Chains A and B, each alone.
Chain A
Amino acid sequence: MTSRRLRIRLPLLALICFSLLPLCGCGREISKSVSTFDYLDTIIRITVSAGSESEADSALSGCLDIIRDYHFMLDADGEGFVGRLNKSETVSLSAEEKALLLSALGMCAETDGALDISLYPLARLWDIGGGNHVPDEDEIRETLLRCGYEKLPPVTDEYALPAGMAIDLGAVAKGYIADKLSDYLNKAKVKSALIDLGGNIYALHEKTGGAPYRIAVQSPSDPSGRIAVVEGGDVSVVTSGTYQRYFDKDGRRYHHIFDRRTGAPAQSGLLSVTIIAPSSYLADCLSTAVFVMGEEKGAEYISVQSGVSAVFALEDGSAALYTGGEGGGYTVIMEGGK
C-alpha cells in the first residue's frame, strides 16, 4: 500500500477496533436468591451475584446461617443473651454481645432517648399485634418506672438487669444483621448482593453490568406506591413507619414506635422516616430515633450526620428529604415535583 493510503486506513481500523472494545467486558456472573419466613418474624430475601453457581449457593447458605444465629441471639423472648437477661438471669456476655449492648446504649444516649432499647415492658403492656391493649394512665406510669436506658447498670462481662426491666434490640437488630451479612459477603467475594430483611434493605456494590441498585421507599399510604427512590451501591435503606405494626381502636391508630416520654406511640406528625446510610445498623437506629424526634428535631439531628440522608413522610401526605453533608455514594430521588 502507498503510505498515503496507510495513513488513512490505519486510523479507520483503529477506530473500528476501539468501538468493538466494550463488547469484551462481559464476565460470567450467576445470580441466585433465597427467601425465608423462618427468622426475625418477617420475610427475608437475599440475592447474590457470584462467579459461579456453587459460590452463590455457598454464599446464600452462609447468610442463612448468620441470620439464624442472630435470630437466636437477639430474640427478646428466646434463649439468647437478650431473652435470658429479660428472664432476670445473670448472663456471661460474649465480646460481641457486650460490644453490641454498649453500642446500642451509646445510641440511646446520643439520641437523648429517642431510641431506647429498654422499653420492652412498655411493648409488652400494649402488645401491638397481639392483645392490642390500650392501657390507662396508671398502667403506663407504673410500667415507665421500669423503663429507661439510663437506669441500666454499666455493661460488664457478667450482666443482669434490674428487677422488672427488660430490653429489646428489635429496633436495631435487622440493621445490625444486615451489616454482618454484608461483611460476610464481602469476604466471600461475591460480586454483588441485595439483602432484604423484612424491608430493611442493604445493597452490596453495584448490580451486574455496573448499574446502581434502585431501592424504592414505600409510601405509607399506598403499599404499591413510592415516595422516593435511592440509587447507589454499598448503601442501606431502612424505614420506621406507623403502618408497619399497629392496631386501630375507637378511631385511633396505635403503632409500635414508642415515645418514652409519654409511654405511648410517638405522635410526631410523621407517618414514616426512612434513613439512607452506608451502615445498616446506623440506619436502623436512626430510623426509630428520628421518627420519635419529629421533623424539626429530626432534620436538625440528620444535618450533622455525615453521609446520612433521611426521607420524612408527613401526616399531611407530603414528603421531605434531609441530608447530612457530603459522601454516601448514593442519590435520593424524590417522586413528584419537589
Chain B
Amino acid sequence: MRNRDYIRRLTVYALLTSLSMIFSYIESAVALPLPVPGIKLGLANIVSLFLLYNGGLAGALAVSAARCALTSFLFGTGLWQLAFSLSGAVLSLVGMYLIMKTGRFSIFLISMAGGILHNAGQLLVAFFTIGGAAIGYYAPVLLLSGAVCGLITAACARAVFKVYKGGRIE
C-alpha cells in the first residue's frame, strides 16, 4: 500500500538523486583542465555519504544508480560511459559501507577509501575494455586524486551533518 512513509521516502530519494545530478553537473562545468582524464571532485559523493549515514546501503546504491542512469540518458553519453560510472559508484559504496560497519573509522577515512575505490572501479573497467599499459601509467595518479577528493567530500559532508536536523530516512 502506498502509505505515507513510502511517499516520504520516495520523495527524499528523488530529491537526493536530483541533488547529486546537480553536483555532478557543477563539477564538470568548473572542471580543471588537468592533463589526466577522470579527475573529478566527486561532489556527488556528499549525497552518497549522507545516505550511507542516514539511510543504509540500499538507498545509497539506488540513488547512485539512478543518478548514473539518468545522467547517461540526459546527456547521451552512451552505455560504455554508464558502465564506467556505475562500476566506480558501486565499488565505492560497497566498500564505504563495509568500512563504516566496522565502526572503527571516521568519515574521513571512509570517504577517502570511497574515493580511491571509485576510481579503482573505473580503472578496472577501462582495463578490461580498452586495456593497455596506459592504465598502469594513470592508476597511481587517479587513485591519489580519488583519495584527496574523498577527504574533501568528507569535510563537506561533515558540514552538512552538523546542520542536519532530520532523522534517519530508513
Contact = CB atoms under 8 A, between A and B. Distances in A.
Interface of A: 8-9, 11-12, 19
Interface in B67-104: 94, 97-98
Q: In terms of DSSP, what is the predominant structure of the interface of chain A?
A: helix
- For A8, A9, A19, the residue with the greatest tally of chain B CB atoms inside 10 Å of its CB is A8
Contacts of A8: 57, 94, 97-98
A301 B30 CA distance: 58
9 contacts: A8-B57, A8-B94, A8-B97, A8-B98, A9-B98, A11-B94, A12-B94, A12-B98, A19-B124
Closest 4 CB pairs of A and B: A12-B94, A8-B94, A8-B57, A8-B97
Q: In terms of DSSP, what is the predominant structure of the interface of chain B?
A: helix
Interface in B110-125: 124
Interface residues of B, number: 5
Interface of B: 57, 94, 97-98, 124
Nearest to B57: A8
A11 B98 CA distance: 13
A20 to B, nearest CB: 13
Contacts of B98: 8-9, 12
Contacts of B97: 8
Nearest to A15: B91
A2 to B, nearest CB: 11
A19 B125 CA distance: 12
Contacts of A11: 94
A19 B121 CA distance: 12
A132 B64 CA distance: 80
B155 to A, nearest CB: 27
Nearest to B61: A8
A11 B93 CA distance: 13
A9 B98 CA distance: 9
Contacts of B124: 19
Nearest to B91: A15
A9 B94 CA distance: 9
A16 to B, nearest CB: 11
A224 B94 CA distance: 54
B95 to A, nearest CB: 8
A11 B94 CA distance: 10
Nearest to B124: A19
Nearest to B101: A5
A12 B97 CA distance: 12
A34 to B, nearest CB: 32
A192 to B, nearest CB: 22
A8 B58 CA distance: 10
Contacts of A9: 98
Contacts of B57: 8
Contacts of A12: 94, 98
Nearest to B121: A15
Given A8-B57, A12-B98, A19-B124, 6 more contacts: A8-B94, A8-B97, A8-B98, A9-B98, A11-B94, A12-B94
A9 B102 CA distance: 13
B110 to A, nearest CB: 15
Nearest to B97: A8
Contacts of A19: 124
